């Protein structure tokens, strides 16, 4: 069963790598798509929240952890992740 989970994870990673990384343009940063988080605080208005509509006050309590990743850093991660086209970049203390 564990090897099946590993194979699924490997397939998911391979699928991500087969997609081209979308170009980040000035126009996209000015008006980012809801599924992307192209800059700190999400946009120039500094929202700090996602405009996606599938999660709201009625169902937010039902959210569950889907995945996690340990960076090995003991200091807090102070920068938000950058999300673009299904890719997530995370800055860590010490640039690791």
State the Cα–Cα distance between residues 64 and 3, nearest whole angstrom. 23
Task: Please report, in tens digits, the pLDDT of each residue of the chain (96 residues total).
Answer: 567 766 776 666 666 667 889 999 999 999 999 989 999 888 898 888 888 888 888 999 999 999 888 888 887 777 888 999 989 888 887 766
What is the per-residue pLDDT for 68? 85
Residue 72 near residue 81 (C-beta atoms within 8 A): no
- The closest of 24, 23, 28, 21 to 44, measured between CA atoms, is 28
What are the pLDDT digits (tens) for 80-96? 889 999 898 888 877 66
């Amino acid at each position: 069963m564990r090897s099946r989970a590993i194979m699924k994870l490997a397939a998911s990673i391979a699928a991500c790598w087969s997609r081209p990384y979308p170009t980040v343009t000035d126009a996209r940063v000015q008006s980012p798509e809801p599924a992307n988080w192209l800059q700190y605080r999400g946009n120039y208005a500094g929202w700090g929240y996602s405009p996606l509509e599938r999660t709201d006050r009625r169902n937010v309590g039902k959210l569950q952890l889907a995945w996690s990743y340990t960076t090995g850093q003991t200091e807090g991660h102070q920068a938000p992740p950058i999300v673009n086209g299904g890719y997530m970049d995370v800055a860590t203390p010490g640039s690791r």
